[in-house]
Chains A and B, each alone.
Chain A
């Protein structure tokens, strides 16, 4: 019996998590074209919105807003296409059945997808920020770096918690998964204020759209990047507290939803439904 097969408990969870993260961190970087597309595609969209602000004669800080939004978009796209819709791809490739019969269960698989997706996307998001900032001469003055990093970390945990929740719902779907992931693009960019301060939507609308963790995370990080000039939705520490709440809530919801949807998917025979 191999060492891997003998692994039990937490050790097995960690091994399975790292095993699933591996292709996302190492494997994905072997396909150079993916690296190119994952960086360049959000960057092209971001540059287009930079030019919108330039056409409107906006102050330079708005260019910074857009670049931040572009980097955040990379995370959102990763969550929607590589977390939420991932089981759809796995159904097509025949991997989902294999995941389901693994002794570790599906949670470490999703955890590995999250960790691998986050690390891979972090590199791409950093590239978007660096290239975008160099191209358009944007500078940032982060006033409280530890707080900035804390908000980013909590926001990411909440976001990937949402991703796992979506993944469990998408488990039930066939072709709808693809279309629903597409549906959650521009409407979410609008609701979360990817390209403008979310306060512009109005206070209560902004509060409503704060159910998407990126809304609060972006607003808080922009307050720290552009102190004094950013129209805040809430004070930074209140947004951090709300993000912690969202992170806990999405983790609990994801756990419950995953069990429920897996049961339904098994009962209705959708786990191997390809089309």
Chain B
């Protein structure tokens, strides 16, 4: 059959790529086709904008004047965080909803595709839905709040490199969370949210990690998201920004981000392979908990 021949003749890389694309398309449809584009756009931007405005008002009831550096810190952190929420938590929810809600995980699993590629595709679709929120938050920060973010001073190559590495780190974290979700049932819906809330606290999303207790500071430096947020702030805001990691230079921050991302990607692949194998051994890969 022509289809069989074409599938067999494809290299593993091209099959992986095709699976990723289809996973991406499916993820985007699930994410966006529940409503019309306008409501979806409002839905996408309302939460991050609400989040940044909460921080702005918190700032104003305390400081009331000046302090654009701290506002910039808030704006970039709030703009970047939806990528974590959607990318990391979304990856986990993709698997859980396929297993529990749509009940399609078993069919996806027995098809001749890479489950990793499928999940990465779903994660990238989720991350794409965060783009509008990030863009609107940054524009709002620049033009309404007066955050000093100018095209002339943005370090574009640095920011782009940090962004790509950050998305890699988010997907790696997503795969690690998925690895845990594969092995648990009742708590699976809540666990990604718990991980997201913990990361929100320790990664310097809305405040510099320098105010955390020393133990949490050390923990935060082992997570690539801390370095990603720091690098994005330095790339977008330049030297005027309040820093989470003031002892490190810009290239060092990017270097640590790259190193930690590579480590977490490797850890994610190992964890996922182990979890998948273990779930099959226990017969729980497609277990529905009815939660």
A contact set with B: CB distance below 8 Å: 31, 33-34, 37, 40-41, 44-45, 47-49, 51-58, 62, 92-93, 174-176, 179, 182-183, 185-190, 193-197, 200-201
Q: Does B190 contact A (CB under 8 A)?
A: yes
Is the CB–CB distance between B207 and A55 below 8 Å? yes
Chain B interface residue bracket vs A: 35 or more
The 3 closest A-B pairs by CB, nearest first: A186-B50, A44-B197, A187-B50
Q: Does B266 contact A (CB under 8 A)?
A: no
Contacts of B35 in A (CB 8 A): 176, 179
A37 partner, pick from B47, B54, B190, B290, beta carbons under 8 A: B190
Among residues 38 to 60 in chain B, which have CB atoms less than 8 Å away from a CB atom of chain A?
42-43, 46-51, 53-55, 57-60
Among residues 46 to 78 in chain B, which have CB atoms less than 8 Å away from a CB atom of chain A?
46-51, 53-55, 57-63, 70
B211 partner, pick from A51, A183, A190, beta carbons under 8 A: A51
B50 partner, pick from A33, A37, A175, A189, beta carbons under 8 A: A189
Q: Smallest CB-CB separation from B58: which chain A residue?
A: A196
Contacts of A201 in B (CB 8 A): 57
Contacts of B60 in A (CB 8 A): 200
Is the CB–CB distance between A40 and B57 below 8 Å? no
Q: How far is the CA of A53 from the CA of B74 in the complex (A)?
A: 12
Is the CB–CB distance between A51 and B51 below 8 Å? no
B contact set with A: CB distance below 8 Å: 34-35, 42-43, 46-51, 53-55, 57-63, 70, 101, 186-187, 190, 193-194, 197-198, 200-201, 205-208, 211-212, 290
Q: Smallest CB-CB separation from A69: which chain B residue?
A: B54
Q: Smallest CB-CB separation from B70: which chain A residue?
A: A56
Is the CB–CB distance between B57 and A190 below 8 Å? yes
Q: Smallest CB-CB separation from A186: which chain B residue?
A: B50
Q: How far is the CA of A80 from the CA of B287 in the complex (A)?
A: 28
Tell me the smallest distance from the CB of A74 to a CB of chain B, in Å.
Answer: 13
Contacts of B187 in A (CB 8 A): 33, 37
Q: Which of B57, B61, B207, B290 has the most chain A CB atoms closer than 10 A to its own CB?
A: B61
Q: How far is the CA of A44 from the CA of B196 in the complex (A)?
A: 10
Tell me the smallest distance from the CB of A32 to a CB of chain B, in Å.
Answer: 10
Q: List 25 A-B contacts (CB under 8 A).
A: A33-B190, A37-B190, A41-B190, A44-B194, A44-B198, A44-B200, A52-B207, A53-B58, A55-B70, A55-B208, A56-B62, A57-B62, A174-B34, A176-B35, A182-B43, A183-B42, A183-B46, A186-B46, A187-B49, A188-B50, A190-B53, A194-B54, A195-B54, A196-B54, A201-B57
Is the CB–CB distance between A183 and B47 below 8 Å? yes
Knowing A195-B58, A196-B57, A196-B58 are in contact, say whether A54-B50 is a contact too (CB < 8 A): no
Q: How far is the CA of A175 from the CA of B60 in the complex (A)?
A: 37
Excluding A40-B194, A186-B46, 7 further A-B contacts by CB distance (< 8 Å) are A37-B190, A41-B197, A48-B201, A187-B46, A187-B50, A188-B50, A200-B60
Q: How far is the CA of A175 from the CA of B34 in the complex (A)?
A: 6
Contacts of A188 in B (CB 8 A): 50
Tell me the smallest distance from the CB of A183 to a CB of chain B, in Å.
Answer: 5
Tell me the smallest distance from the CB of A26 to a CB of chain B, in Å.
Answer: 17
Tell me the smallest distance from the CB of B216 to a CB of chain A, in Å.
Answer: 10
Is the CB–CB distance between A189 and B54 below 8 Å? yes
Contacts of A37 in B (CB 8 A): 187, 190, 193-194
